[in-house]
Every structure is written in C-alpha cells, then in structure tokens.
Amino acid sequence: MPGFSGKSVLVIGMARSGVAAAEKLDGLGASVLAIDSNTALKRTARELEKKGIKTHLGEHRFSDLDGIELLVVSPGVMNTSPILMEAGRRHIPIWSEVELAYRLTAAPIIGVTGTNGKTTTTALLGRIFAEAGRSAVTTGNIGFPLVKAIDQARSDTVLIAELSSFQLKNIADFRPRVGVLLNITEDHLDWHPDFDDYIEAKGRLFLNQAEDDWAVVNYDDEIVRGLLVGVKSRQVPFSKLVRVENGVYVEGGEIVAGLVGGKSVCRVDELKIKGEHNLDNAMAAAGAALALGLPIESIGEALRRFEGLKHRLEYVATLDGVDYYNDSKATNPDATVKALTAFKNPIILLLGGRNKGNSFLPLARVVKGGVHPPNGGVKVVIVFGEVAEEIRRALVDCGVRVLSAATLSEAVKLARDCSIFGDVVLLSPACASFDMFSNYEERGEAFKGAVLGLGEDFRG
C-alpha cells in the first residue's frame, strides 16, 4: 500500500466521491484540504472539519496548490478548469477517486464503461456473481464510491465498478482485471472539449491492462473496435450481428458463448429487460463473467431473472389501456434512440431537460423514420424543460408532430390526452435533469407520481 502518511493532498469536489476520498486519505495519515466552489455545502464542510480535515468553499484559489503533493479530483470538475491547469503546470499528479482506490486495494476490478448501459450491466454482473455464490460488490456511479467499496472487499471479492469518462480521464496506473466497453456515441460534450477527447477517455479503460487481463468489447460498435489497436489484454467481443467465436453472440434466438465452445447461455426471449441495447448489456455481462470463470448455468439464470432497474425502461402503470414507462436515466439522445427499440406499439415520447452539448437532429430523424413501422414508432413528441425549443425545432424540421409543456407534470397530462388504447407513453428525455430536478432519479419519481395521479387501473 502506498504511503500517504504526512503527504499534503488537495481534494477538489465535496460530493460523494470527494468526501470519501478526503476521509480515506485522512485515515491514512495524509494532510488533506478539501475544496468546492459550491458555497451551499456548508454542512458537508462542517462534518469534514469535525474530523480534522481542512475545507474551503467558494472560488478556487491557486494558493490552495501551495505545497500540495497530490490532487484528487471529483468527476464534476472539468480538466480545463483553471486550478487543474495550474496544477498541471506545477507538475502535481492529478488522480480521480478510482485511481486512489486502485492504489489501495488488491481486489480484482471489473471496470464497466460506455455511453449507455453502464448501470444496467454493472447490476447484471452483480446479480450473476450472487447467483454463482461469488463475493462481489457493485460500486462506482451505481451506488457508492470505489474508495469506500474497497473496505468491504475480502481477499476473494471482485469489485464491479461503473466508470465514467470523467473518472477514466484522470487515471494513471488503474488496471481493471476485466474492462467492459459497451458503446460510444456523442455525450458530455459540455465537459469534454470535443468528441475525440471523450473517445480517448473511454479508451483509457484498457490503458494499463496486460496480456492476462480481459477486454470485453462491443464488436458491432465501429468506434469501440477502433480503440482496440494496441490493446494488450485478451479480447472478448460480443455481437448481435456476427458470430464471434472467442466471444458472445446471438444465433438462432439464443445468446451463445463462443468463449466456452458455443454453449447456449439463454434464449433472447427469456430476457425480461426490453430493447436491443439491453441484449448488448446482457451479452457484455455474460462475457465478463465467463472471462472470470463463472458457471454458464449461473450466468443464464441471472440473465433470465433480472428485471431491470428503476428509471431504466421501468414500467409504471397501465391507465385506460395505455402503458406508461419511466426511462429518466436516458440523459442523451442515443439512449433515447435505444429505448425506442423496446416498443412495437405507437409511442407518445416525452423529451426535455438540459442539453449536454448534443445535437438532437439524429434523434429527430429516427423519430420521423420510426423504429418499428408501420404500426409502431413515435406518433407525437411532447417537449418540456430548458431545451424544449431547441428540441422542438429539430423535430419540426424533420416533420414530426410536437407539443410543448411548461412542466413534466403538464407533459404527462398532455400525453394522456393524446393517447388511445394500446399506446405507450415513454419518458426518455435525451437530456440531463438539472434544469428542473437535482438528478434523473428525482425526475423519474416526479414522472411516476404524475402518472399515478392521472387515474386508477394501476397494476404495480
């Protein structure tokens, strides 16, 4: 374990991962200063001060870097922020919280990343390990920080970590035993300077892997395939389109494990989670589990039993013959496109929130063309929130029928008025939630509350 005793460390960001990192470093004997530009975090600062950790709220000061030997940065802080750029000029090492955690544990790590599907795949892997009777902890963005999860890891525990591009951008030696890369489409261009930087950050998942590690990758994603040049680890591709003998693929309605001689994992129609993207997630989870030697029977049983997560194509209610689904976790246009593949009935689609630097034109073209024509597809879109007008323009330019609502609750009422028996009302916003809500969970709960307030015939 590296020595942190007496080392001066600056932690930037006092949300969950920042607080966890500050407390861990303090416990290891480091001299810690935790800072955050959000002056509303006074209670958090007081709690850290009680533990002997120095804090500062407000504008970042270059003087906070004086004497600092290590900087641990939270995901919300952009690498182009002045204080990080100054730290770089001073040659101060900059780590994400996952890099710190990696330095402090000997437990093997499965790292899961991608633009969409990270949380579902991480949860699926947790379910597979439980089914197999193997010790594992799901961590990262899915629950609590990796630097806290390491305290729960026994010598035989596997840490299954959902990883963002922000966290991977600031790794140094981080080396997952298994790296899972699900897909890459445009996202977080309000944080990354351009799409190439975002792609590079995702590819860092495999940066430090060696020949005895594993890379589980989406063979159907051209950008993902392009990142595999120079990867040293053993590759386990998964594909809906191609028979990949050394990976996981679909054939004859079965998920097939080419990795272990072409055995069937389970039938595709046995999956309870909807959508082609969830088939990708299931294959990725199976590939990672097979790489670590888990029994194929346990993998198949876990995939059959898994019913999905809250706010991810979550069934809410059927009212007057109309099904309502909550997909609040869809915070970018590509996630919404994937969600549309889950339904063959006509859809009333609710879009809106805060844009993360994405174009809505590709989504508008998909909505116009339909995913399951002629009977399915989107019949009307209801926009709401901060970028409602931007989305409306993109949709109208493509000839899509659009209605506008001032609030999410009003959007739900409009959807009821537009729907007929057999329709699906789908909240899949394609945007972040921060214009009206503190997170996508709060937005999803607001949607469910509005739906359940419409009437009766709710079957939970």
456 pLDDT exceeds 50?
A: no
Catalytic one among 60, 188, 202, 329?
A: 188
List of long-range contacts for 197-204, beta carbons under 8 Å, 24+ apart: 198/165, 199/223, 199/227, 201/165, 201/166, 201/168, 201/169, 202/113, 202/114, 202/115, 202/165, 202/168, 202/227, 203/227, 204/168, 204/169, 204/171
Task: Indicate the pLDDT class of residue 455, thresholds 50, 70 and 90.
Answer: low
> CA–CA separation, 77 vs 70, rounded Å?
16
Which DSSP state fits 342? T
- Residue count of the chain: 460
Q: What percent of the chain has pLDDT over 90?
A: 74
405-416 residue pLDDT tens: 999 999 999 999
Structure tokens of 365? Answer: 């073209």
> What sign does the CA torsion over 207, 201, 163, 123 have?
negative
> CA–CA separation, 441 vs 143, rounded Å?
13
Which CATH homologous superfamily contains domain 8-92?
NAD(P)-binding Rossmann-like Domain (3.40.50.720)
> CA–CA separation, 340 vs 426, rounded Å?
9
Structure tokens of 23? Answer: 């407390």
Based on the residue annotation, tell me whether 208 is a catalytic residue of this protein. no
> CA–CA separation, 103 vs 116, rounded Å?
27
Q: Which fold has domain 314-452?
A: Protein-Tyrosine Phosphatase; Chain A (3.90.190)
Element (H, E) at 195: helix 195-203
Catalytic one among 24, 60, 118, 202?
A: 118
**pLDDT for residue 459:** 38
The domain made up of 99-305 is a member of CATH 3.40.1190.10: yes
The answer to whether the CB of 194 falls within 8 A of the CB of 187 is: no
Based on the residue annotation, tell me whether 448 is a catalytic residue of this protein. no
Element (H, E) at 162: strand 158-162
In the chain, where are the structural domains located? 8-92, 99-305, 314-452
**pLDDT for residue 195:** 86
Tell me how far the alpha carbon of residue 178 is from its chain's centroid: 17
Catalytic one among 24, 60, 116, 141?
A: 141
372 pLDDT exceeds 80?
A: no
> CA–CA separation, 2 vs 100, rounded Å?
10
Mean pLDDT score, 153-167 = 91
Task: Indicate the pLDDT class of residue 144, thresholds 50, 70 and 90.
Answer: confident
Reported as half-sphere exposure (CB side, CA atoms, 13 A), residue 131 has a value of 21
> CA–CA separation, 457 vs 115, rounded Å?
36
311-360 residue pLDDT tens: 888 888 889 889 999 999 899 898 898 889 888 889 999 999 999 888 89
- Could you tell me whether strands 8-12 and 70-73 are parallel, antiparallel, or unpaired per DSSP bridges? parallel
Mean pLDDT score, 4-29 = 95
Based on the residue annotation, tell me whether 188 is a catalytic residue of this protein. yes
The answer to whether the CB of 161 falls within 8 A of the CB of 122 is: yes
